[in-house]
């Protein structure tokens, strides 16, 4: 059976034009997707049911036992941490946030190790953004800074920028100017009209210099700034000012290098400054499928996009203090629930070490590096393959991911709803009759 317009569950491009062929309960063909997306539909490595480690290996446990264990662990903890969320649905994320609220825990997402700094910068100066169709239909200058879309977001150029014709650009490839800024020549740099080759850690200084140049204050700019010549900076300043519509995209090369959120802030303020001359927008190249969805739902439920500490019954937010990686590295938490992510593969060693010392439950479809640290893993459906639900694209457009297979696994949201309900039953939360 051929399914049209399937939403890709891999990255935050959220391509929704995939043709997927399903035979029996198996995906036999994926068209229109990039290799990364196509691979996700084929991925195996899924556990048959909940498992707990024993001396000898792994024991199967029932769903009821698994949920009971999770509830006990969360309720008995003095500082529980609930972490993950980037590859599941908003519905599941919402439940996870409410669980944290109910147990007085900390809830955080993979955001804190990817675009958390972008959010901190936005909280300082705002975000001049747009949906990706604005870029596709209008942008004649596109900047990719500290990101390599050809490898990390392979269809970004063909769907939204260089190779995508738009309403006001009938021959996009010829009419658009592409600028890539990075510390090394990448695949994306190879196709750029202009490559800005920065020294490592030089982003902040180069962006400051560009801001001054756009303001017409070129006098004090030295001959080179972090490896970039003054002449190139002046040239880029002119290209940017003369654009009809400019679009600035950035990735982890800007968010996770020295200076972190101040780099992003500088990029945003450059875009603000450019708006005094012409139209410019900025978009973070969010990574995982629905990492932005977590930020959205966490914001409407708690007021903050990630790293929320409910230990006092109200939401407290302070990345650096309430972020998962910091809490683990300081060995603060005494229990951890991991959902839809793999911290053991991505966190620094000090943080991962603490996972080995505390009870950990993981809710995830597949066996991953974190499995080795688990006291229990509950396998669930993959959102976008065998479970449906909402995901937010990198530009904030929400799209409903489809269920195209039924492999008998529960969705994360089903497991989490049971956990939440049991916690509320145990805490005797109920409506009171007013007198």
Partner 1 sequence: MRVILTAKPRKKPLIPVEAETIIPRHFRQGRDLTVWEGNRERSLRDIFDVMVERTAAAAEEVEVILRGDVSRFKRVGEYMDAGKITIEGDIGMHCGNFMTGGTIEIHGNADGWLGREMRGGRILCHGNAGHYAGSGYRGEKFGMKGGTLEILGNAGDFAAEYLAGGEVIIHGNAGDLPGVEMVNGTLTIHGNCSRPCGNMTGGTCTVLGTVRGMLPTFRKNSTLLHGSDKIPLTVFEGDIANRGKGILQVREYSYDD
Partner 2 sequence: MTELLLRNACVIDPLNRVNGDVMDIAIRDGWIVESVGNGAEVIDARGFLTLPGGIDSHTHICGTKVNFGRYMMPEDMRAGRTIRKGVMHATSGYSVPTTYGNSYRYSAMGYTSILEGAMAPLEARHTHEEFSATPLQDTMANTLFDGNWPVMEAVKEKDVKRAAAIVAWTLAAVKGFAVKLTNPGGTEAWGWGKNVTCIRDPVPHFEVTPAEIIETLIRANELLRLPHSVHLHCNNLGAPGNYQCTIGTFDLVPDLNKERQSLYATHVQFHAYGGTSWKDINSKAEPVAYSVNRKPQIVIDMGQMMFGKTTTMTADGPMEWNLYRLHHNKWSNHDVELETTSGIIPVYYSKKSLVNCVMWAIGLELALLVKDPWQCLLATDNPNGAPFVRYPEIIGLLMSKRYRDEEFRTIHPDTGKRVILDTLDRELGWHDIAVMTRAGQAKALGIAKIGKGHLGVGAEADIAVYPIRIRDTDPSRDYAAVVSAFQRTAWTIKRGRVVCRDGDVVVEGTNRTIWANSRVPEAFDMGRDPEFVKKFDRYYTVRMANYPVQDAYIPRSGCIESEAVL
| Per-residue interface string for the shown chain with partner 2, residues 233-272, x marking contact by CB under 8 A | -----------xx--------------------------x
**In sequence order, what are the residues at sequence separation of 6 or more whose Cβ sits closer than 8 angstroms to the Cβ of residue 214?**
237, 240, 241, 270, 273, 274, 277
Q: Which of 40, 136, 176, 354 binds partner 2 (CB under 8 A)?
A: 136
Residues of this chain that interact with partner 1 (CB under 8 A) are: 77-80, 103-105, 120, 123-124, 199, 201-202, 204-205, 208-209, 211-212, 215, 217, 219-227, 258-259, 262, 265-266, 269, 310-312, 317-321, 330-332, 334
Using rule CB under 8 A, residue 17 touches partner 2: yes
Q: Look at residue 49 and give its three-state secondary structure.
A: coil
Name which of 47 and 225 has its Cβ closer to partner 1: 225
**Least distance from C-beta 265 to partner 1, angstroms?**
8
Neighbours of 305 (CB within 10 A): 25
Distance from CA of residue 80 to its chain's centroid? 22
Q: Rank residues 7 and 325 by Cβ distance to partner 2 and give the closer one.
A: 7
Distance of CA 118 to the CA centre of its chain: 11
The strand pair at 389-392 and 2-6 is best described as: unpaired
**Of the two residues 155 and 211, which places its CB atom closer to partner 1 in the complex?**
211
Q: Would you say 130 or 374 has its CB closer to partner 2?
A: 130
**Residues 278-307 interacting with partner 2 (rule: CB under 8 A):** 278-279, 281, 295-297, 299-305
The DSSP call for residue 22 is E
Q: Is 221 in the site for partner 2 (CB under 8 A)?
A: no
Q: If we measure between CA atoms, which residue out of 317, 401, 407, 400 comes closest to residue 366?
A: 407
Residue matched to tokens 């945003």: 268
CB of 245 or CB of 373, closer to partner 2? 245
- Which range of residues in 45-53, 94-102, 144-152, 207-215 is near partner 2 by CB under 8 A? 94-102
| CA neighbor of 309 nearest in space, from 21, 105, 118 | 105
On the CB side of 403, CA atoms within 13 Å amount to 13
HSE of 77, CA atoms in CB hemisphere, 13 A? 29
Site for partner 2, residues 142 to 181, rule: CB under 8 A: 159-160, 166-168
Q: Which among partner 2, partner 1, none contacts residue 5 (Cβ within 5 to 8 A by kind)?
A: partner 2
Distances (CA, A) of 119 to 262, 263, 284: 11, 12, 10
Residue 128 is a binding residue for partner 2 (CB under 8 A): yes
Pairing of strands 80-84, 279-284: unpaired
* Minimum CB distance to partner 2 smaller for 364 or for 388: 388
What separation, in Å, do the N-terminal and C-terminal C-alpha atoms of the chain show? 59
Q: Which of 25, 92, 96, 58 is nearest to 410 (CA)?
A: 92
Residues in 335-354 that interact with partner 2 by CB under 8 A: none
Select 100 or 378, whichever has its Cβ closest to partner 1: 100
Which of partner 2, partner 1, none lies near 311, with the C-beta cut-off 5 to 8 A by kind? partner 1
Binding site partner of 201, from partner 1, partner 2, none, Cβ cut-off 5-8 A by kind: partner 1
């Amino acid at each position: 059976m051929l399914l049209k317009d399937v939403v890709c569950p891999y990255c935050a491009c959220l391509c929704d034009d995939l043709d997927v062929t399903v035979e029996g309960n198996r995906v036999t063909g994926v068209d229109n997707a990039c290799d990364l997306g196509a691979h996700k539909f084929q991925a195996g490595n899924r556990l048959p049911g909940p498992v707990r480690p024993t001396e000898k290996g792994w024991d199967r446990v029932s769903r009821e036992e698994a949920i009971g264990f999770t509830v006990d662990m969360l309720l008995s903890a003095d500082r529980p941490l609930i972490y993950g969320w980037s590859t599941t649905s908003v519905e599941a994320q919402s439940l996870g946030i409410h669980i944290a609220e109910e147990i007085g825990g900390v809830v955080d997402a993979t955001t804190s190790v990817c675009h958390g700094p972008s959010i901190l910068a936005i909280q300082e100066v705002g975000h001049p953004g747009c949906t990706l169709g604005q870029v596709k239909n209008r942008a004649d200058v596109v900047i990719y800074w500290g990101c390599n879309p050809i490898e990390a977001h392979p269809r970004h150029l063909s769907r939204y920028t260089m190779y995508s014709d738009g309403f006001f650009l009938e021959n996009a490839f010829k009419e658009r100017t592409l600028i890539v800024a990075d510390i090394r020549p990448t695949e994306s740099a190879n196709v750029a009209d202009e490559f800005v080759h920065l020294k490592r850690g030089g982003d902040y200084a180069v962006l400051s210099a560009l801001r001054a140049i756009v303001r017409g204050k070129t006098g004090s700019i030295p001959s080179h700034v972090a490896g970039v010549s003054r002449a190139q900076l002046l040239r880029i300043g002119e290209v940017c000012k003369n654009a009809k519509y400019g679009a600035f995209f950035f990735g982890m090369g800007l968010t996770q290098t020295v200076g972190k959120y101040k780099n992003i802030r500088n990029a945003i303020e450059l875009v603000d400054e450019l708006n005094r001359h012409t139209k410019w927008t900025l978009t973070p190249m969010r990574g995982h499928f629905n990492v932005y969805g977590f930020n959205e739902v966490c914001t409407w439920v708690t007021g903050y996009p990630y790293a929320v500490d409910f230990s006092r019954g109200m939401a407290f937010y302070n990345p650096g203090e309430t972020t998962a990686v910091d809490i683990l590295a300081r060995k603060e938490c005494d229990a951890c629930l991991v959902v839809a992510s793999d911290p053991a593969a991505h966190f620094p060693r000090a943080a991962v070490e603490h996972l080995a010392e505390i009870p950990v439950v993981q809710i995830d479809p597949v066996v991953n590096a974190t499995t080795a640290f688990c006291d229990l893993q509950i396998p669930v459906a993959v959102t976008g393959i065998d479970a449906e639900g909402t995901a937010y694209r990198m530009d904030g457009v929400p799209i409903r991911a489809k269920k195209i297979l039924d492999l008998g696994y529960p969705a994360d949201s089903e497991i989490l709803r049971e956990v939440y309900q049991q916690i509320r039953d145990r805490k005797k939360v109920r409506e009171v009759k007013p007198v």
